Structure 1
Amino acid sequence: MNTPKSEWPSSLDDRELEELDTYLRAHGSDGDLMLDGVHGLLSAVAIGPLEVKPEEWLHEVLHDAFENENEGNRVLELLAKLNDSISAELDVDAYEPILGEIDTEEGPLLSAAGWCEGFSRGIDMRAQLWETRLAEDPTLMQLLGPIMALAVDEGVLQADAEFEKLTDDEYDECLGQLPEVLNAVGDYWRESPPTEAELQALTRPRVEGEDGPPRQRSGHWVH
């Protein structure tokens, strides 16, 4: 796709990505999202059924007070730029997921585990809408297929039935489908936005004891 340079999204360059990655690693602990996870979370937020404001998703990303105002402004600037770049990149077919790296006997290997974990947490930001629609409309589940396959393969999502590990080619194929999947899911929610009943359910007070077991989807997003 030939996109004029003036319309090309302003994404983080390698230096900015490394700067943000360094900050997240220095201030993160077990279970906190690193750069790949933040990218997954913001990707889910970008294509989701209802706006998630920065003051909501920032709680999933930042856990320590900033050392000073300059550090705070810089980190928030980088996160805002990362967030804004996702929709822009999807619009011009320039989206690429940020992947983590794991050490194997054969050497370093790229992994979608962190991205999938972040994506699951992005879904959880509007869990009730996603869960209701996934239960009622198999189309949405089908669209999410490649992401779910990666998430199950990486142990982020638990499958109800026995699941055979993806081959390297299948794994790469699912990764290659992510931009298409995100655009398709984004289109789905634009064309079939939350109904009035679904939105009203968001504000309905929960009955005591109603929470029950952890929320589940057709597979179970596990953290």
Structure 2
Amino acid sequence: MTSSDDLFQSLSSEELDELEDFLLLDTHDDKSMTLDMLDGFLAALAVGPSLITPSEWLPMVLDVEGEAPPSFSSPEQGARMTGLIVRYMNSVVSVFDADPESYSPLFDQCVFGDPEEEELAVKAWALGFILGMELRWDDWLPVFDALNAEGDAEAHLLTPIFLLSGTDENMPELNDEEREEWRELIPESVSRLYRYWLPSRSQQ
């Protein structure tokens, strides 16, 4: 197997744990993404209107504001963690390329110790998705004005993401039932966003 092939190998559960532990290190000064946030971030990059190179988005993983270059304790750690993150990205992309409707966010694949932990994971995923959008915000703007074949606004696909992110202070706080209802819409929303932006990505 070549090194190129290695970059398209899905992460094992042990490697996901290794990546999560790295992202939670104190040396990142709470600037790095959590694993759930990274999962949402990569989903936005995978389904969005623009192809974005790793050199642009990788720095944001360890500093969500993208102000500092990635910091590693050694070249070996840098190569290892960068490899895991790129493989994670490639595995997300491969899901959409193979079967968009099969997409499942990380929080739907995990077992949580309590409802609060679960709520934080969903919120982190949604925040990560919005961060991914912000890398090419102007390119995303057309979806807010577009209508689908039934004449409905395509922007409604983003409603679950923005509501669950808690970024809009003007929105009332969701109760548990509402939060669960919006959460269940995430996979369909993301897969439909993939199909919406597919023609744009195909032209690049």
Q: Map Cα deviations across residues 158-211 of structure 1 (whole Å, 9 max, x no partner).
A: 44xxx33333233223222222111101111124x38x9xx9xxxxxxxxxxxx
How far apart, CA to CA, are the structure 2 residues paired with 1:164 and 1:115?
20
Alignment partner, residue 167 of structure 2: 156
Greater strand fraction, Structure 1 or Structure 2:
1
How many equivalent residue pairs? 179
The TM-score normalised by the length of structure 2 is 0.74
Cα deviation code 1:55-90 (max 9, x no counterpart) = 000110135422222211110111011101112223
Query: Among 108, 117, 121, which residue is 2:131 paired with?
Result: 121
The CA distance in 2 between the partners of 1:66 and 1:35, in whole Å, is 17
CA contact (8 A) 2:145 2:154 kept: no
Q: Look at both structures and tell me which one has the larger radius of gyration over its CA atoms.
A: 1
Specify the SS of the correspondent of 1:165.
Answer: coil
Unmatched 5+ stretches in structure 2: 1-7, 64-69, 148-152
Which structure features the higher share of helix residues?
2
Change (3 A) 1:183 1:108: closer
> Identity of counterpart residues, as a percentage?
27
Return the alpha-carbon distance in structure 2 between the equivalents of residues 61 and 89 of structure 1.
21
- Alpha-carbon distance in structure 2 between the residues aligned to 1:10 and 1:173: 33
Structure 1 runs (4+) deviating above 6 angstroms are 100-104
**Higher RCO (C-alpha 8 Å, min separation 6):** 2
- Higher alpha-carbon deviation: 108-117 or 35-44: 108-117
Pair 1:137-2:146 in alignment? yes
Q: How does 1:61-210 map to 2 (within 5 A)?
A: 61-63=61-63, 64-90=70-96, 91-92=98-99, 93-99=101-107, 108-111=117-120, 112-131=122-141, 133-137=142-146, 139-151=153-165, 155-159=166-170, 163-191=171-199, 193=200
One-letter amino acid of the counterpart of residue 136, structure 2: R
CA root-mean-square deviation = 3.0
